[in-house]
Chain A
């Protein structure tokens, strides 16, 4: 039984502030556990988790697996390339078969928007979205917010600038919903071809779209540089990576407009010299590796709370 108002973590758009606080507060305690010599707790002993990754993933999959192991859950991995899906089985049939094996929690990543929600409708297991299409990547946004709170304290009134390919970014969308729920001001910056065009729902939560990176970074407390998929150039959305870097790259020069202590964040993997310069990614304001560490704690908190527990039990 979930200790949150939500039963599944499908995205952050419909997650209330109380649930976000509960997750982030619990994550803080799991984060402390990760610094102990013995990093394992028995909190999910007897719980079976399957990681359904229909899309390639390295860090998110490893992060979830580690979180499951730290919680003492029994976990199994599934990748689409080695599955019966390649033999023509439908997604629903795959799910029913896996569920017949008495799975408690499913972590799913899929290129299709809405697949986690689809699974949630047809399954008794708890579903955790590890990324669906360009829709949501809620645990990434949660770990981003957790990392920001570590350094900045409350996010109320803080300015967070997300730079890059927002149109195709599930990370950006989850951050928009989560950050605005916690009272942060979100700015989006990037080429018009990589920005969502119809922004009524974003406007409703006060998101600003600023095409000039200098203006977008003016007074920012944190900046999230999104990974630029190189296919965007082939798809005629960008002229060159050089122009992208010159006009939208998170560079030292661009950051002169932000607060001196601005946090530099990136969901990874990084294209150095494209969306972010190396001297920024590796610089003193960078919290990119903290994000990776915090990801395990946040995912532990999510799975633990959805399964019905508290970290301090």
Chain B
């Protein structure tokens, strides 16, 4: 039996902009242009109806660390944050053969959300033996990557790119030259030197970016650079693109919201890899988003247990969760920096991720199947441990006040209020 809903007095994001206030009718999750008699009223007056968001950089650490997080937790986090789609990659449990891929597809397929998967480039992400990429491709992966590892041997990287190139799929890399990173855990700059912490220079990223881009140009393989954090990396991307490299890139939410000035607080939630860079870098990342150098904002949702964060900074496990708060946290900054804040932010959280993977972006249109979310832009609230799904809350924004929140989601035709 069909289920009709009426979201009264809302603004709908369609055709690239927010509409005037109107009623939004749906039948089984599809937008009905005409009013539907007897539709159940959902009281979200003053909210916005937005397309479901698309998360890049999602790792639920299944199935090896159920004590930290599960797929169920991850799906709950996505729902709370309004993400209906995600690219799953698993540094903890590399999808390096077809059986692992099928198992993850089965696990993630139960939540009514849309998951895409990155296959591994190498067995165990160890950068020594190629994964069965042709078989993984026929199994449905949308790209390849070795999680946060970059093969240490350029010769291996060359072969991996050549082999992956047969599939036409994009190869994802987090550019970091390990030998230059050493034991560093923060950006090597004024703040690191002020507090005497081992630093990771920007060059650890730019050198790796340069190597990847040179190989991509030579071998003509599409590549994606994850979580770029330095201004100079974006210049390298711009130059490479001008030379004919098919390169896309993303920047992560926290590199847009924070910079290394926050190191003085010694909050282990700001221990991220790549590290938070300088304010100048942060501005350059926003500029890269505005001028199209960067295609997407990634979540890099990395759950870490409190016990692994409640240690001194250098020993803390790097990583942060972000799905639940990403949109609300980014919106004020986007509105401040972009001409069309909401529109540009959705471009970077819906269209961008899809285009990187060669997938069609899903937009709200009458009678079209498209997951949507209800976002209230003036719902002030404090980020607490309860904001996050599962037993983790490792976010640098814990304790901050956000102005908006996702009130509910309609994914796979099912409306659900967020708790």
Measuring CB to CB, which residues of chain A are less than 8 angstroms from any residue of chain B? Answer: 191-193, 197, 211, 233, 236-240, 242-243, 246-247
With most chain A CB atoms within 10 A of its CB, the pick from B123, B131, B133, B159 is B159
Closest A residue to B137 using CB positions: A247
Given contacts A192-B163, A193-B159, contact A236 B134 (CB under 8 A): no
- CB contacts (< 8 Å) of B165 on chain A: these are 192
Leading 10 A-B pairs by shortest Cβ distance: A239-B130, A192-B162, A243-B132, A239-B132, A193-B162, A247-B134, A236-B159, A192-B166, A193-B159, A211-B166
**B128 within 8 Å of A (CB atoms):** yes
Instruction: Write the nearest CB–CB distance from B132 to chain A, whole angstroms.
Output: 4
- CB contacts (< 8 Å) of A243 on chain B: these are 132, 134-135
Interface mask (B145-168 → A, CB under 8 Å = 1, otherwise 0): 000000000011001101101100
Measuring CB to CB, which residues of chain B are less than 8 angstroms from any residue of chain A? Answer: 123, 128-135, 155-156, 159-160, 162-163, 165-166, 219
- CB contacts (< 8 Å) of B132 on chain A: these are 239-240, 242-243
A193 touches B163 (CB 8 A): yes
Return 25 A-B CB contacts under 8 Å, by A number.
Answer: A191-B166, A192-B162, A192-B163, A192-B165, A193-B159, A193-B163, A197-B162, A233-B129, A236-B128, A236-B159, A236-B160, A237-B130, A237-B163, A238-B130, A239-B129, A239-B130, A239-B131, A239-B132, A239-B133, A239-B134, A240-B132, A242-B132, A243-B132, A246-B134, A247-B135
Query: CA of A236 to CA of B129 in the docked complex: distance in angstroms?
Result: 5
B163 touches A191 (CB 8 A): yes
- CB contacts (< 8 Å) of B159 on chain A: these are 193, 236-237
Seed contacts A191-B166, A192-B162; 14 additional CB < 8 Å A-B pairs = A191-B163, A193-B159, A233-B129, A236-B128, A236-B129, A236-B156, A239-B130, A239-B134, A240-B132, A242-B132, A243-B134, A243-B135, A246-B134, A247-B134
Query: CA of A243 to CA of B139 in the docked complex: distance in angstroms?
Result: 13
Query: CA of A240 to CA of B97 in the docked complex: distance in angstroms?
Result: 11
Q: How many residue-residue contacts, CB under 8 A, span A and B?
A: 42
Query: CA of A247 to CA of B156 in the docked complex: distance in angstroms?
Result: 21
- CB contacts (< 8 Å) of B131 on chain A: these are 239
Query: CA of A191 to CA of B159 in the docked complex: distance in angstroms?
Result: 10
Query: CA of A233 to CA of B165 in the docked complex: distance in angstroms?
Result: 18
Closest B residue to A244 using CB positions: B134
Instruction: Write the nearest CB–CB distance from B128 to chain A, whole angstroms.
Output: 7
Q: Which of A191, A237, A238, A246 contacts B135 (CB 8 A)?
A: A246
Query: CA of A246 to CA of B133 in the docked complex: distance in angstroms?
Result: 12
Query: CA of A301 to CA of B191 in the docked complex: distance in angstroms?
Result: 80
Query: CA of A195 to CA of B134 in the docked complex: distance in angstroms?
Result: 16
- CB contacts (< 8 Å) of B123 on chain A: these are 239
Query: CA of A40 to CA of B129 in the docked complex: distance in angstroms?
Result: 52
Instruction: Write the nearest CB–CB distance from A195 to chain B, whole angstroms.
Output: 9
Query: CA of A192 to CA of B134 in the docked complex: distance in angstroms?
Result: 12
Query: CA of A178 to CA of B162 in the docked complex: distance in angstroms?
Result: 28
Closest A residue to B163 using CB positions: A193
Query: CA of A236 to CA of B123 in the docked complex: distance in angstroms?
Result: 11
Instruction: Write the nearest CB–CB distance from A243 to chain B, whole angstroms.
Output: 4
Instruction: Write the nearest CB–CB distance from B95 to chain A, whole angstroms.
Output: 13
- CB contacts (< 8 Å) of B166 on chain A: these are 191-192, 211
Instruction: Write the nearest CB–CB distance from B246 to chain A, whole angstroms.
Output: 16
Closest A residue to B155 using CB positions: A236
- CB contacts (< 8 Å) of B160 on chain A: these are 236
Query: CA of A192 to CA of B171 in the docked complex: distance in angstroms?
Result: 15
Query: CA of A211 to CA of B137 in the docked complex: distance in angstroms?
Result: 14
A236 touches B130 (CB 8 A): yes
Query: CA of A211 to CA of B129 in the docked complex: distance in angstroms?
Result: 21
Instruction: Write the nearest CB–CB distance from A148 to chain B, whole angstroms.
Output: 29
- CB contacts (< 8 Å) of A246 on chain B: these are 134-135
- CB contacts (< 8 Å) of B129 on chain A: these are 233, 236, 239
- CB contacts (< 8 Å) of B156 on chain A: these are 236
Instruction: Write the nearest CB–CB distance from A222 to chain B, whole angstroms.
Output: 24
- CB contacts (< 8 Å) of B155 on chain A: these are 236
- CB contacts (< 8 Å) of A192 on chain B: these are 162-163, 165-166
Instruction: Write the nearest CB–CB distance from A216 to chain B, whole angstroms.
Output: 13
Instruction: Write the nearest CB–CB distance from A96 to chain B, whole angstroms.
Output: 39
Closest A residue to B221 using CB positions: A192
